[in-house]
């Protein structure tokens, strides 16, 4: 901590912060290796941000936390809203812990449909958190916090077990797709959890698909590939989710034979607006074909999008056009409807 006292009211604190930061911005030598150094800073100013040391430190710390979230090597001034956000986060973390203890989550499922084979292939499990005061909380709101706090590990394990348990009650060869968060992917026990979930539920491994995102490749490529291969060895399928939004380096597509690329919905949204979205879809499907990977387009909302996707060589679709994510009971009704319509024999399989 740096305490600067007796600063004149006219002092330019931002310029001062810049100057301080540049002191840290240099290379240092450790055991003969050059390492880059930088500093993030949080700044609290008396008397507005507190008149005692404890309050000032706490508020500077909140600002520091924010500076780190903003991408590190930067600084942030304390604002009252940071305090409210921190309170909100703390409450949400406590509520998450209770939900884990009390089994307070639910899985919804959204159908994955093959235009190519004209049949229902699978459902993606999407977590929901019914909250007593706040209603249904979207995963977009709590998965990032669960990631930061490590709570994603028990939550993710529950999702895998529950999804396998449910999918084992579905007829025929219908699969279930489960999202695996980057932090969860890095935990050493993942393959064992998957194995145990399959064994307990009796679901054949080839009916489980794990969805991972491109971000797992930034951390440690070697470790990532090792984990992917150990999961593949169990016989489960592996899909790359939100394809096109991340780092989109082609090298990892060559380094692992994914079963499926899920083209992010941002590309699908642009399809009927003119422009070059068709060309992007075609490039992805051509590339995937060449690599022997299936393609699925996410967020397909209308027939026009589906028609273009089919024309550009995309195999599967998922989106509101077919169905929103639905609860377990509705899944059984949906299956009965779809399968009875297209392929009655599958129901009895």
Q: Which residues bind Mg ion (CB under 5 A)?
A: 179, 211, 241-242, 298
The site partner of 159 among Mg ion, ligand C2E, none (C-beta below 5 to 8 Å per kind) is ligand C2E
User: Does 244 engage in binding with ligand C2E (CB under 6 A)?
Assistant: no
179 is a contact residue toward ligand C2E (CB under 6 A): yes
Q: At what angle do helices 80-102 and 152-167 cross, to 10 degrees?
A: 40
Q: How far is the CB of 86 from ligand C2E (least distance, A)?
A: 23
Among 42, 111, 139, 244, binds ligand C2E (CB under 6 A): 139
Which of 157, 241, 294, 312 is close enough to bind ligand C2E by CB under 6 A?
Answer: 241
166 near ligand C2E (CB under 6 A): no
By CB under 6 A, is residue 200 in contact with ligand C2E?
no
Q: Considering beta carbons, is residue 157 or 241 the nearer one to Mg ion?
A: 241
Q: CB under 5 to 8 A by kind: which of Mg ion, ligand C2E, none does 181 bind?
A: ligand C2E
Identify the CA nearest to 241 among candidates 260, 268, 269, 213.
213
Residues that contact ligand C2E, how many (by CB under 6 A): 22
110 contributes a contact to ligand C2E by CB under 6 A: yes
- The label of the residue with tokens 């999407």 reads 126
Euclidean distance between CA atoms 94 and 336, whole angstroms: 40
The 3-class SS string of 5-17 reads CCCCCCCCHHHHH
**Min. distance of Cβ 54 from ligand C2E in angstroms?**
37
- Please tell me whether residue 49 binds ligand C2E under the rule CB under 6 A: no
Q: How far apart are CA 37 and CA 27, in angstroms?
A: 6
Nearest CB to ligand C2E, comparing residues 82 and 208: 208
Nearest approach, Cβ of residue 105 and ligand C2E (Å): 8
Residues 207-236, interacting with ligand C2E (CB under 6 A): 211
159 binds ligand C2E (CB under 6 A): yes
Rounded CA separation 240/243 (Å): 6
Alpha-carbon separation of residue 143 from 33, 66, 189, 205 (angstroms): 37, 18, 20, 26
Contact 264, 245 (CB under 8 A): yes
Q: By CB under 6 A, what part of segment 281-300 binds ligand C2E?
A: 298-300
Closest approach of ligand C2E to the CB of residue 300, in Å: 6
Q: Toward ligand C2E, which CB reaches closer, 14 or 219?
A: 219
- CB of residue 127 vs ligand C2E: minimum separation in angstroms? 4
Judged by CB under 6 A, does residue 319 bind ligand C2E? yes
Q: Does 181 bind ligand C2E (CB under 6 A)?
A: yes
Establish if 157 lies at the interface with ligand C2E (CB under 6 A). no
Binding status of residue 301 toward ligand C2E by CB under 6 A = yes
- From the list ligand C2E, Mg ion, none, which binds 82 (C-beta under 5 to 8 Å, kind-based)? none
Q: Which residues contact residue 229 at a Cβ distance below 8 angstroms, ignoring those fewer than 6 apart?
A: 256
Binding site for ligand C2E (CB under 6 A): 110, 126-127, 138-140, 143, 156, 159, 179, 181, 211, 241-242, 265, 298-301, 319-320, 325
């Amino acid at each position: 901590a740096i305490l600067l006292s007796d600063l004149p009211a006219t002092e330019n604190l931002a310029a001062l912060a810049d100057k301080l930061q540049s002191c840290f911005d240099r290379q240092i030598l450790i055991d003969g290796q050059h390492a880059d150094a930088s500093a993030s800073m949080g700044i609290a100013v008396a008397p507005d941000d507190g008149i005692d040391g404890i309050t000032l430190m706490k508020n500077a710390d909140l600002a520091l936390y924010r500076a780190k979230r903003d991408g590190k090597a930067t600084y942030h001034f304390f604002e009252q809203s940071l305090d409210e956000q921190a309170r909100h986060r703390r409450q949400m973390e406590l509520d998450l812990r209770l939900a884990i203890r009390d089994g307070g989550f639910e899985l919804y499922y959204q159908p994955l449909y093959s235009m190519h084979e004209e049949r229902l292939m699978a459902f993606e499990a999407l977590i929901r958190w019914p909250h007593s005061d706040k209603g249904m909380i979207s995963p977009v709101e709590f998965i990032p916090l669960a990631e930061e706090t490590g709570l994603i590990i028990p939550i993710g394990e529950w999702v895998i077990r529950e999804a396998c348990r449910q999918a084992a009650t579905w007829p025929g060869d219908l699969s279930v797709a489960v999202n695996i968060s980057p932090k969860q992917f890095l935990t050493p026990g993942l393959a064992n959890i998957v194995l145990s979930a399959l064994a307990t539920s009796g679901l054949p491994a080839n009916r489980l698909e794990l969805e991972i995102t491109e971000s797992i490749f930034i951390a440690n490529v070697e470790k990532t590939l090792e984990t992917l291969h150990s999961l593949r060895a169990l016989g489960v399928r592996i899909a790359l989710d939100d394809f096109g939004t991340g780092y989109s380096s082609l090298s990892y597509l060559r380094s692992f034979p994914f079963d499926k690329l899920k083209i992010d919905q941002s590309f699908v949204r642009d399809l009927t607006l003119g422009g070059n979205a068709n060309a992007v879809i075609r490039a992805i499907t051509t590339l995937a074909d060449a690599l022997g990977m299936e393609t699925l387009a996410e967020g397909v909302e209308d027939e026009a999008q589906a028609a273009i996707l089919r024309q550009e060589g995309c195999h599967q679709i998922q989106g509101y056009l077919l169905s929103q994510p639905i609860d377990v009971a509705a899944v059984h009704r949906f299956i009965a409807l779809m399968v009875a319509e297209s392929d009655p024999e599958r129901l009895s399989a």
